[in-house]
Amino acid sequence: MSTLDDLPWPELENVSRGATRGNQGQKGVLAQPDRDGRCLLQLRVQPGVLAVKLNRQSSKWYRILDSEVNRAFKTTKTYWRKARRRQDYDARADQDHMELHEWLQQLKDKTMSQLELLMQKGETQGPLYVVPEDVKLILLRKFIEWQAAGILHDPQLRNSFIAGELPSYSHRNHSVDSYSPEPSDQGFTDPSHSHSSE
């Protein structure tokens, strides 16, 4: 299995802020959990084309990641507004947060690719594709550990934070057991939620 160490920190010094990933549509959108805590995840831009039902742990981990992606994106928009107004603008912090958002988004994309690989290998049978309870998204394990411990994901900021130089840059310290962020901003309804027999 791939690990977080395979995902290098992005170098965005020369990347325009206006660069986008295009229309993501429903890709990466997570539904509300069913009565067993499992969530349906869309893997394509068009709704209903390819979806997978995550197990309870994967649903929980992915929702934490999805929430952090959305939070990082909102933070970059805040810095963008400050840059345009030239008020209280910190260029270095702006760059750090752009890199954080890009890294989190890449982790989210790689997680979806890992799920598709499980389908191709036959470890996840479908349709409807359902991730077995004994399958873990190993790729997200270190991310979740860092979140629970309040450790920064940016390697440069992490080293400075440990040295006590950048206490204000720490992300929120989540308890993985108690953290329950809202569904994706573009949430949709799991069509099997109301009458699932699983």
- Cα–Cα dist 22/20, whole Å: 5
pLDDT in the model for residue 42: 92
Return the number of other C-beta atoms located less than 10 Å from residue 143's C-beta.
21
Residues 33, 39 contacting (CB under 8 angstroms): yes
Bridge partners (DSSP) listed for residue 53 = 40, 130
Instruction: List the structure tokens of 185.
Output: 């901003």
Residue pLDDT, tens place only, 26-65: 889 999 999 999 999 999 888 778 899 999 999 999 999 9
pLDDT in the model for residue 144: 92
Q: CA dihedral defined by 170, 111, 11, 95, rounded to 10 degrees?
A: -40
Which residues does 115 contact at the CB level (< 8 Å), separation at least 6?
A: 41, 43, 52, 54, 124, 131, 137
- pLDDT (average), residues 146-151: 86
The one-character DSSP state at 169 is G
Q: Mapping DSSP to helix (H, G, I), strand (E, B) and coil, where does residue 186 land?
A: coil
